[in-house]
Structures are given as C-alpha cells and as structure tokens.
A = this chain, B = another copy of it.
Amino acid sequence: MATLSDVARRAGVSPATASRVINGSSKPVTDELRERVLAAVAELQYVPNAHAQLLARSHRSAVGVIVHDVSDPYFAEITRGLQRVATDQGRLLMICNSYRDPDRELEYVELLRGHQVAALILAGSGYHDDAFTRQLNEKLAAYEATGGRVAVIGRHEHSGDAVMPDNRTGGYLAGRELCGLGHRAIGVVAGPRILTTTTDRLAGLRQALAEQGHDLPERRIRYAEFDRDGGAEAAARLLDADPELTAIMALNDSMAIGALATLRARSLAVPHRVSVVGFDDMPIARDVTPALTTVRLPLVDMGVRAMSLVLGAPAPAPRVEVLPAELIRRDTAGPAPDARRDTAGSAPRARRGDTAL
C-alpha cells in the first residue's frame, strides 16, 4: 500500500504539505503543489490509512451500536432510525450483533471502546441477570468516565440516557382488546423469560386481564425463542396443553407469524376459531394473511431519538424518553367463538384500509 510519504516523495513535497492538500486543511497551499500532490494521489491510488488517521487525530467520530440481530426486522427498523441521524451528522456506525448473548454484549462494549467510538448505543431487551447488569453498568460507567456517551434503547437497568418503548402499556392494550372481544382462554407465546421485554409486556397483559377479573396462569404461557420458529413451537405446545384456547397473544410479531403457521397447519381458522395478536408491528405484519393485529412501536423513531440523545449536548441528569405503544387492529383478532353467538351473523371485521398497498 502506498503511504503518505510515497505520495509526498512523488510530488516532491513534504508529507506535511501532502497531508494538508489531501485533507483540505485550512492552511493555504499554492495551486502548483496542490496539483502535483493530487496527481500523485491518483497515480498511486493512494488511500489514507484510517487507523493511522484515527490515531493521529484526537477527535473520535464513529458511533458503536450493539443490537441483538440487525437482520431481525425489529432491529432493522431501529437501525434505520439510528443510521438516519448518524448519516446526517457524517458519523460512521459500527454495528454489532450480540445474538442475545450477554457475554458477547460485554465483549462488544470493550471492542467498541477499543475502536474509540464517540458514543455507544445498546438496543434491545435487557436481561434479568444481576451479575451481568452490574458488569455492564461498570463497563459503561468506565466508558462514560472517559468522555464516552451512552444511550440504551428498551432496557431500564442502565442508569444513563434511555429511550423506552412502552412495553407494558402495549401489553395492556393487547390484553384489553382481547378481553373486549370476549376472550377468556388466552394463551401467551412469550420470548425468553430472562428478557425484561418479555416480562414487561407480560405484566401489561396481566394487568388488563386482572382488571376484567381474569388471571393469567403460568400454564397458559410458553416461553421460547423470540423468533418465528419459537412462536410456532410455543403455540403448538400451548394448543396441545389447552385445545380450548380462543386467543393467542404473541409477544412479538415474528412469534405471531410462527403461531399463525401452527394454526394453519392445524386448520384452526384465524380469527374465527382462534384470535392472534402480535407485538411490534414490523413491516411484514400487514402482508401476512389474515393481516396481523398487533401493537405498534415507533421503531424508527426510537432509533432517531437514541442517536439524537447521544450526539446532542450531554445532560446533567439521565434522560428517559418513553415512546407510546399503539394498538393496530387488523384481521387476526375477532370475537371469541362463544361471544360470537351474541353478535350472531356479524361478519368478521372488514379488512382494514392500511393493508391495501
């Protein structure tokens, strides 16, 4: 690889001058030298060594992001929001997938710190794991102590700036909807127990049921991976144990899609025999058939906010922005089969407009 001094030598100038030309320094350089340098750069196909630059320059510019999995639509949307703000400010993003492995998360914090990122954003559920939480907080504190900025999305265990989707209210809205439709035998297809997202959403759901005088026994909950196959599997276990279920609440949309696959395989009509409600409103939710009734989270906005927090002026006290959840009624949630008798003859709810195109 050609180096700066190769360029300087070829142009017959000092490395200092070459550097100034290449970086558009404010220090003036005569046109003749400038041209010679530029010509040398082109001839040698010179590209500055980014590591040497970052070492020599003092200011840090890149931002590190740790998500569970960018290819998961939930994180893809959040990342889109992060990216938008970062790009506007000319920041490079380093994105790392933890695949929900706490140890890997810790490692990535170190890695990104080592890469001298100006800020760090952790997105995705926290863990019910005190030892881990403590370690993470220590590492983040150490990072912040050296001037690094930190924000988290969707995890309350960190004491700094945070953007929090209102998971609990989301669960509540879904629960209220299902209760309102007359469902009593509601099964829950849940993500891993250890995730705070799981327990928060569950808590909201439980509260909604409690308000109607119902409870949510553990036997009506199945914990599995937070993805399509996990949802399919959990739904199957749920139905095996309790064939009379009239509704399934899936704690995210991927799981809901898996649950729909299970119901289809068992020829249980949705929503006539079993209703399904998802969570997150990922883009694909409107494209499955029937279109998925779900709880929308402003995912892109969550990313935008988090990046803005971290790139904006630091605050004296930690800021927490709670973003609202919203119920999106589509076609997978209908009246409970026995409740339907009361409203006999009423056709299943017409397809919602937002599913067309």
| A residues at B contact (CB < 8 Å) | 1, 45, 47-55, 70-71, 73, 76, 79-80, 94-95, 110-111, 113-116, 138-139, 142, 146, 228-229, 232-233, 236, 257, 260-262, 264-265, 283-284, 286-290, 355-357
Docked-complex contact B264 and A45, CB < 8 angstroms: no
Docked-complex contact B264 and A114, CB < 8 angstroms: no
CB neighbours of A95 from chain B (8 A): 95
Residue of B nearest to A110 (CB): B47
Residue of B nearest to A227 (CB): B283
Docked-complex contact B232 and A357, CB < 8 angstroms: yes
CB neighbours of A113 from chain B (8 A): 47
Docked-complex contact A287 and B228, CB < 8 angstroms: yes
| Contacts A79-B71, A146-B1 given; does A50 touch B289 at CB 8 Å | no
Docked-complex contact B287 and A236, CB < 8 angstroms: no
Docked-complex contact B50 and A262, CB < 8 angstroms: no
CB neighbours of A233 from chain B (8 A): 357
CB neighbours of A116 from chain B (8 A): 1, 49-51
Residue of B nearest to A138 (CB): B45
- What is the CA–CA distance of A283 and B72 in the complex, to the nearest angstrom? 12
- What is the CA–CA distance of A229 and B284 in the complex, to the nearest angstrom? 12
Residue in B1, B51, B290, B357 whose beta carbon sits within 8 Å of that of A265 in the complex: B357
